[in-house]
Amino acid sequence: MLTLYHNHLSMNSRRVWIALLEKKLEFNLVDIKLDGDQLQPEFLAMNPFHHIPVLVDDGLNVVESLAILDYLEAKYPIPSLLPTNAKDLAIVRMVEMATVNELVSAMNPLIYRMMGFHGGEDSQTIEQAKYKISTGLEFLEKLLGDSPYFGSEQLTLADIVAGCAIPLLPMMDFPLTDYQKLNVWAERLMQRPSWQTTQPTPELIEAFKSRMQALMAQRETN
């Protein structure tokens, strides 16, 4: 059986978790606590880069979330999460890469501020981040157009990747009101059982914040 090593608060892990649910596959979930589990020898044997997620399938360790998504699509193609024509496939890939390389990296200062971490508090950093996020959202909204999903009338891998990031922005004091098409799209995704199942609870977020802040305070005193 498939086994996914993940963390409930990891965007990267959530992408794979949602794909597994959407494909209605049977799988085991193994929670990796990010205050040390990822550095244990057993985990490093699966992924020497100590990142989550890791998908284990019949002795094969697949790392990097986008690679895992492609692996699942290739091995379990029904239901399909990729369009077949060149234009729509290009849209899906552009959305995936723009989300990972541009949008998520721009979101980091807002994530740090929300979590109470050092490095995301000063106003200049926040304003620069918001500008980059706006640029990313404008690009993605044009790619979405009037379609219900990116590159398709049905859910695609692009929706999964972008849909693990964009709906979080209102929690970070970045409303989607200026991006009505993306806002409607995000609301559509949040109604899907796979998004509801994988949505982190406020209690889980607060527990993670407390644990990470305590760990950072301990490191500063050492």
For the chain, domains (ranges, CATH) are 2-79 (3.40.30.10), 86-191 (1.20.1050.10)
The pLDDT assigned to 220 comes to 61
The pLDDT score that the predictor gives to residue 219 is 60
Q: Phi first, then psi: give them for residue 3, nearest 5 degrees.
A: -130, 125
Query: Closest by alpha carbon to 52, among 92, 104, 79, 15?
Result: 15
What's the predicted TM-score (pTM) here? 0.92
Give the residue among 153, 194, 218, 208 at the shortest CA–CA distance from 34.
208
Mean pLDDT by 10 residues, the chain (222 residues): 94 98 98 82 90 96 98 98 97 98 95 73 88 98 98 98 97 95 98 96 76 64 62
Q: Note whether 156 and 150 are within 8 A (CB).
A: yes
